[in-house]
Structure 1
Amino acid sequence: MEDQLTDRAFWVNYWERKDDLSINIPNNYTFHQQFAQIIENQPIKTAIELGGFPGFYSIFLKKYYNLDVTLLDYFVHQPITNKLLTENGLKEDAIHIIETDLFNYTPEQQYDLVLSCGLIEHFKDTADIINRHINFVKPGGTLFITLPNFKALNGWFQKHFDLENYNKHNIDCMEPALLAQICSNAGLEVIQAKHSGYFSIWLEDEKRKPLPLQLLKKAIWVAGKILTKTIPFNSKQLSPYIIVEAKKPL
């Protein structure tokens, strides 16, 4: 589709290059505090992760909260997800799998929690992709979206040293106020929309990058971590992520 900044071939190649997918997901995995608040304060029993292959967050939610979890993506290589499940002490059928194109799929059910982590920024029409998320949310349920903040130092680093990856992202959508307005326009109550995390930068396929670039990235990463550990704060300039949480009315 013209709206997509990536295609299936991109994701097949992306995941086939990864050699560190079978990890034991810790209880302090990224965004664990946000998930804890949502699940502990609301009657969450079912969840669906959109665009989440190989299923890190789906497995996190199953492993630590025993939710009834579904993973939906248009590229799922089942052996990789099965290996990840086994590594985390779960049976291969512990989560439901739907392999489909989100743009050609009508939800067969709605869920208490609908999440995506690093999905919406790969589409040009941000309102459209968010509204497709909302279609999965049960009345009274919660929408939770995260995406990278490439308007921060991390984005500058990506643009200058990995332009190909940078261009696969819709930079314009990386504004909490814009995302909050889209959710509000769709009738949701926005709980939070903000920059998240004190500091981080990263490189895709870092081990395959030139050594000088790896060293530069490491130096910036260390300096940023020291600064934000001394003076911890979330900011548009340094925070690596944006998070949005919203509720659908009953």
Structure 2
Amino acid sequence: MSNTLTDRSFWRNYWESKTGLAFPVNRNYLFHSLLSDIIKRFNPNSAIELGGFPGYYAIFLKKHFNITSTLLDYFVHHQILEDVLKVNNLTGDDIQVIEADLFNYTTPTQYDMVLSCGLIEHFYDTKDIISRHVQLLKPGGVLFITLPNFKGINGWFQKRFDKENYMKHNIDSMNPKLLDSIAKDLGLKEVRTAYYGGFSIWLENKEQMSALVKIFFKLVWMAGKTLTKIFRFESKQLSPYIVLEARKQTL
């Protein structure tokens, strides 16, 4: 059985169905505070974003911190990528792009930072996909992984209103304790896992939903945002993301 819950045709259809992909990646882009803190503490010179097409985080690191950035993905839509780079005042020379299957990819190159945002949950074997990140990490380098949390309200919306997309995710991987255990089993240190994001919900197919579903969605979104703005906290039920940060042992 294949380790992945998706394939190239899924990703081609997914990206070609999207609009508004070419936008400026600003300094306050999602996870900016966490990444800024990592950069302040560890001062990485090089980074690779895995499974990150269209490369928003590789662009973020290059554009705002001048970090030598690489994007590696199984599927790269080159016209979309060109448009995204252009609106960020970058060219193909600014970001190295590798279109390859991570499970068949070998290279002697290692990086100060290895990150992925929304990748590991598309694979059955969570430990194996995280180990692929670690292989690309320099000794002393920092690992940064985020994934959605579908075990709370956001997941209920996904399962109820977009079952097809929900089934493309390994729900068992969305467990901070599991991620902590895997990271430590792989020999990583300074491991930190946490829920993140306060509150948010989304549906990939929201525009195809009925007016009633859209109204319900909006009401829940507003209620959750108001609650967590007044009382900011992270939780399994409300937080939309899970974050893993760790460092590789030095030699």
Q: TM-score under structure 2 normalisation?
A: 0.97
> Which ranges of structure 2 fall in alignment gaps of 5 or more residues?
none
One-letter code aligned to 1:229:
K
Structure 2 counterparts to residues 5-154 of structure 1, below 5 A:
5-154=5-154
Question: How far off is 1:77 after superposition?
Answer: 1.2
Question: How far off is 1:89 after superposition?
Answer: 1.4
Question: How far off is 1:101 after superposition?
Answer: 0.5
Secondary structure, counterpart of 2:54 in structure 1: coil
RMSD: 1.0
Contact 2:110–2:138 (CA<8 Å) still a contact in 1?
Answer: yes
Identify the residue that residue 182 of structure 1 maps to in structure 2. 182
1:200 aligns with 2:200: yes
One-letter code aligned to 1:10:
F
Contact 1:150–1:156 (CA<8 Å) still a contact in 2?
Answer: yes
* More divergent stretch after superposition (190-199 vs 206-215): 206-215
Aligned residue pairs total 250
Secondary structure, counterpart of 2:58 in structure 1: helix
Give CA-to-partner distance per residue, 1:57-93, whole Å, 9 cap, x none: 1111111111100000010011211111110111232
Question: How far off is 1:105 after superposition?
Answer: 0.6
CA distance in 2, matches of 1:66, 1:52: 18
Contact 1:86–1:92 (CA<8 Å) still a contact in 2?
Answer: no
Structure 1 runs of 4+ off > 3 angstroms? none
Contact 1:107–1:135 (CA<8 Å) still a contact in 2?
Answer: no
One-letter code aligned to 1:88:
N
Question: How far off is 1:21 after superposition?
Answer: 0.4
Identify the residue that residue 156 of structure 2 maps to in structure 1. 156
CA distance in 2, matches of 1:75, 1:84: 15
Secondary structure, counterpart of 1:71 in structure 2: strand
Contact 1:154–1:202 (CA<8 Å) still a contact in 2?
Answer: yes
Question: How far off is 1:20 after superposition?
Answer: 1.2
> Which ranges of structure 1 fall in alignment gaps of 5 or more residues?
none
CA distance in 1, matches of 2:68, 2:21: 22
One-letter code aligned to 1:168:
K
One-letter code aligned to 2:82:
N
One-letter code aligned to 1:101:
D
CA distance in 1, matches of 2:90, 2:124: 36
Secondary structure, counterpart of 2:19 in structure 1: coil
Identify the residue that residue 229 of structure 2 maps to in structure 1. 229
Secondary structure, counterpart of 2:38 in structure 1: helix
Identify the residue that residue 167 of structure 2 maps to in structure 1. 167
One-letter code aligned to 2:110:
Q
